[in-house]
Amino acid sequence: MTAFHAPIAEQIWDMKYRFKQADGTPVDVTVEDTWRRIAHALAAVEDDPGAWQGRFYDALAGFKYLPAGRIISGAGTERTVTLFNCFVMGTVQDSMSGIFDGLKEAALTMQQGGGIGYDFSTIRPKGALVKGVGADASGPLSFMDVWDAMCRTIMSAGARRGAMMATLRCDHPDIEDFITAKRDAVRLRNFNLSVLVTDPFMDAVAADGDWDLVFEGTTYRTIKARALWDLIMQSTYDYAEPGVIFIDRINQKNNLSYVESIAATNPCGEQPLPPYGACLLGSINLAALVTNAFEDGAEIPDAALDDLVATAVRMMDNVVDASRFPLDAQRAEAQAKRRIGLGVTGLADALLMLGLRYGSEEAARQAGRWLERIARAAYLASAQLAKEKGAFPLYDRDAFLQADIMQRLGEDVRAAVAEHGIRNALLTSIAPTGTISLLAGNVSSGIEPVFAYAYTRKVTQRDGSKTEEEVVDYAVQTFRAKFGEDTPLPDYFVSAQTISPLDHVRMQAAVQPWVDSSISKTINVPEDIDFASFKDVYLEAWNSGCKGCTTYRPNAVTGSVLSVAEEKPAEAKSGDVVYIAEPLDRPAKLEGQTYKIKWPNSEHAIYITINDVMEGTRRRPFEVFINSKNMEHFAWTVALTRMVSAVFRRGGDVSFVVEELKAVFDPRGGAWMGGKYVPSILAAIGGVIEQHMVEIGFIEGEGMGLKADPHAEAVRVGEAPMGAACDNCGQFAARMVEGCMTCGACGHSKCG
DSSP per position, 359-413: TSHHHHHHHHHHHHHHHHHHHHHHHHHHHHH---TT--HHHHHTSTGGGTS-HHH
Q: What's the CA gap between 499 and 496, in Å, rounded?
A: 6
435 or 301, which is more confident: 301
Active site residue 268: yes
Segment among 71-75, 302-306, 432-436 with least mean pLDDT = 432-436
Q: What's the CA gap between 38 and 72, in Å, rounded?
A: 7
pLDDT digits (tens, 9 = 90+) for 649-664: 877 778 888 888 887 7
Mean pLDDT (whole number) for 693-705: 81
Segment among 37-51, 533-547, 700-714 with least mean pLDDT = 700-714
- The number of CA neighbours under 13 Å toward the Cβ of 659 is 20
Q: At what angle do helices 302-322 and 361-389 cross, to 10 degrees?
A: 50
Q: What's the CA gap between 205 and 197, in Å, rounded?
A: 11
Active site residue 743: no
- For residue 40, pLDDT beyond 90: yes
Element (H, E) at 677: strand 676-678
At residue 190, the pLDDT reads: 87
Confidence grade of residue 67 (pLDDT, cut at 50, 70, 90): very high
Q: What's the CA gap between 69 and 66, in Å, rounded?
A: 8
Are 201 and 154 contacting, i.e. CB atoms less than 8 angstroms apart?
A: no
Three-state secondary-structure class, residue 141 = helix
pLDDT digits (tens, 9 = 90+) for 91-135: 999 999 999 999 999 988 888 777 899 999 999 999 998 877 778
At residue 578, the pLDDT reads: 33
Is the pTM of the predicted complex or chain greater than 0.85?
no
257 or 614, which is more confident: 257
The strand pair at 243-246 and 740-743 is best described as unpaired
pLDDT digits (tens, 9 = 90+) for 405-424: 999 999 999 999 999 999 99
At residue 131, the pLDDT reads: 76
Q: What's the CA gap between 246 and 595, in Å, rounded?
A: 49
DSSP designation for 258 = T
Mean pLDDT (whole number) for 142-171: 80
At residue 563, the pLDDT reads: 35
pLDDT digits (tens, 9 = 90+) for 661-692: 887 777 666 777 776 778 888 888 988 999 89
State what percent of residues in the chain have pLDDT above 90: 60
State what percent of residues in the chain have pLDDT above 70: 86
At residue 33, the pLDDT reads: 97
At residue 11, the pLDDT reads: 87
Are 159 and 116 contacting, i.e. CB atoms less than 8 angstroms apart?
A: no
Q: What's the CA gap between 239 and 553, in Å, rounded?
A: 8
At residue 652, the pLDDT reads: 72
At residue 295, the pLDDT reads: 96
Active site residue 190: no
At residue 253, the pLDDT reads: 97
- For residue 258, pLDDT beyond 50: yes
134 or 372, which is more confident: 372
Mean pLDDT (whole number) for 591-618: 83
At residue 724, the pLDDT reads: 58
Mean pLDDT (whole number) for 465-483: 86
Mean pLDDT (whole number) for 204-223: 97
Instruction: Provide CB contacts within 8 A for 397, sequence distance 6+.
Output: 417, 418, 421
- The number of CA neighbours under 13 Å toward the Cβ of 606 is 25
For CA atoms 369, 372, 374, 380, give the dihedral sign.
negative
At residue 751, the pLDDT reads: 55
User: Which of 655, 651, 349 has its CA nearest to residue 474?
Assistant: 349
Edge-to-edge order in the sheet of strand 281-285: 65-67, 281-285, 341-345
Cis amide prior to 275 (ω within 30 degrees): no
At residue 570, the pLDDT reads: 32
Are 727 and 748 contacting, i.e. CB atoms less than 8 angstroms apart?
A: yes
At residue 99, the pLDDT reads: 93
- For residue 645, pLDDT beyond 80: yes
- For residue 560, pLDDT beyond 50: no
pLDDT digits (tens, 9 = 90+) for 234-255: 999 998 899 999 999 999 999 9
- For residue 459, pLDDT beyond 90: no
Mean pLDDT (whole number) for 536-560: 84
- For residue 714, pLDDT beyond 60: no
Query: Could you tell me the maximum CA-CA distance found in the chain, to the nearest angstrom?
Result: 89
- Residue among 190, 192, 254, 266 flagged as catalytic: 266
562 or 411, which is more confident: 411
Other C-beta atoms within 10 Å of 331: how many?
A: 18
From residue 40, alpha-carbon distances to 10, 44, 160, 360, 389 in Å are: 22, 6, 26, 42, 20
Q: What's the CA gap between 732 and 710, in Å, rounded?
A: 10
Other C-beta atoms within 10 Å of 528: how many?
A: 8
Residue type, 690: E
Other C-beta atoms within 10 Å of 539: how many?
A: 16
DSSP sequence for 448-513: PPPS-SEEEEEEE-TTS-EEEEEEE-HHHHHHHHHH-TTSPPPTT---TTTS-HHHHHHHHHHHGG
Confidence grade of residue 697 (pLDDT, cut at 50, 70, 90): confident
Of the spans 496-505, 608-617, 723-732, which averages the highest pLDDT?
A: 496-505
Are 598 and 685 contacting, i.e. CB atoms less than 8 angstroms apart?
A: no
Confidence grade of residue 718 (pLDDT, cut at 50, 70, 90): very low
Confidence grade of residue 739 (pLDDT, cut at 50, 70, 90): low
Residue type, 526: P
146 or 566, which is more confident: 146
Mean pLDDT (whole number) for 184-201: 91
At residue 629, the pLDDT reads: 79
At residue 710, the pLDDT reads: 36
735 or 464, which is more confident: 735
Q: What's the CA gap between 115 and 496, in Å, rounded?
A: 27
- For residue 721, pLDDT beyond 50: no
- CA dihedral angle for residue 253, residue 257, residue 261, residue 263, rounded to 10 degrees: -10
At residue 557, the pLDDT reads: 56
Residue type, 263: A
Confidence grade of residue 580 (pLDDT, cut at 50, 70, 90): very low
Q: What's the CA gap between 553 and 556, in Å, rounded?
A: 10
Mean pLDDT (whole number) for 216-241: 95
At residue 331, the pLDDT reads: 96
Question: C-alpha 279: how far from its chain's center?
Answer: 14
Mean pLDDT of all residues in the chain?
86
* β-bridge mates for residue 519, sequence order: 430
- Residue among 86, 151, 170, 268 flagged as catalytic: 268
At residue 349, the pLDDT reads: 97
At residue 590, the pLDDT reads: 85
Mean pLDDT (whole number) for 167-194: 92
- For residue 713, pLDDT beyond 50: no
At residue 750, the pLDDT reads: 58
Instruction: Provide CB contacts within 8 A for 360, sequence distance 6+.
Output: 503
- Residue among 105, 260, 270, 540 flagged as catalytic: 270
Q: What's the CA gap between 167 and 373, in Å, rounded?
A: 33
